[in-house]
Amino acid sequence: MKTLIIIATYNERDNIVPLLNDIFMTVPDVDVLVIDDSSPDKTYELVEELQADKYPKQLFLLKRAGKLGLGTAYVAGFNWGLERNYEVIMHMDADFSHNPKYIPQFLEEIKTKDLIIGSRYVDGGGVVNWGLIRKCISRGGSLYSRAILGLKIRDLTGGFKCFRRNVLETIGINELKSTGYSFQVETTYKSYLNGFKIKEIPIIFEDRRVGQSKMSSTIFLEALLMIIKLRFITKIKK
């Protein structure tokens, strides 16, 4: 299956080159699209160098004018991939919290399912190097989302996901309401409402090796409010 992996970056200069090398070493036949929001640390320059020197046919860069939000980056990537006829589209973080070693399992599972979620909260999953507060926020966010939306999926806020193209074509990616971390909940919820087959596979989520987390209290509160809106405004797309 023709596969695209989307990686959204903002100030990931220390991570992007080793991550891309690991991905292509693990799954040599995939393509990768890096979407960079004009990182002040010029992450995009390293992507351009790697693209020219090592992966000219598999590595692509979409540089945007500024920091426009994670959700809009993924929507841009989804549209880019659909326009180029990719059958499977994944997305993952740029900071090694999502280990490329899991990608082959995603690609195997997507053969019989529509959406695969890398889950921290099913048997075999977990987190490494997180403090108690962050663990509570993450688990609490998923429990809150499950309760409001009536879902049994255990990890609703994770960003290591793999879609068949028909899912993205069906759920109305250009009408998604979320721009921050609630984007993950919205895409999963709309996939569920449309009757797609969803499976969680266990991953160990490792806190970023270098750099700063993009999470803030403003983003977290925005996500909590968006979940309530989703409960009332999200409809099955006909």
Range of the domain at 44: 3-233
Which pairing describes strands 115-119 and 59-63: parallel, antiparallel, or unpaired? unpaired
Confidence of residue 238 (pLDDT cuts 50, 70, 90): very low
Neighbours of 83 (CB within 10 A): 8
pLDDT at 164: 98
pLDDT at 228: 80
What is the distance between the alpha carbons of residues 11 and 214, in angstroms, rounded to a whole number?
10
pLDDT at 234: 52
**Average pLDDT for residues 74-90, to the nearest whole number?**
98
Type and span of the H or E element at 72: helix 70-83
What residue ranges in the chain does DSSP mark as E strands?
3-9, 31-36, 59-63, 88-92, 115-119, 126-128, 161-164, 198-202, 204-206
Q: What is the CATH number of the domain that holds 124?
A: 3.90.550.10
pLDDT at 182: 84
Please provide the DSSP assignment of 48-67 as one string.
HHHHHHT-TTTEEEEE-SS-
- How many structural domains does the chain have? 1
What is the distance between the alpha carbons of residues 210 and 216, in angstroms, rounded to a whole number?
17
Please give the mean pLDDT across all residues of the chain.
89
Type of residue found at 141: G
| 145, 186 contact by CB (below 8 A) | no
**Average pLDDT for residues 140-149, to the nearest whole number?**
80
pLDDT at 212: 53
pLDDT at 12: 96
Q: Is residue 43 part of a domain?
A: yes
Please provide the DSSP assignment of 113-147 as one string.
-SEEEEESSSTT-EEES--HHHHHHHHHHHHHHHH
Confidence of residue 208 (pLDDT cuts 50, 70, 90): low
Q: Is residue 238 part of a domain?
A: no
C-alpha distance from residue 48 to each of 26, 44, 144 (Å): 21, 6, 41
Residue 178 has pLDDT above 90, yes or no: no
| 35, 75 contact by CB (below 8 A) | no
Q: Is residue 89 part of a domain?
A: yes
pLDDT digits (tens, 9 = 90+) for 92-116: 999 999 999 999 999 999 999 999 9
pLDDT at 205: 93
Residue 13 has pLDDT above 90, yes or no: yes
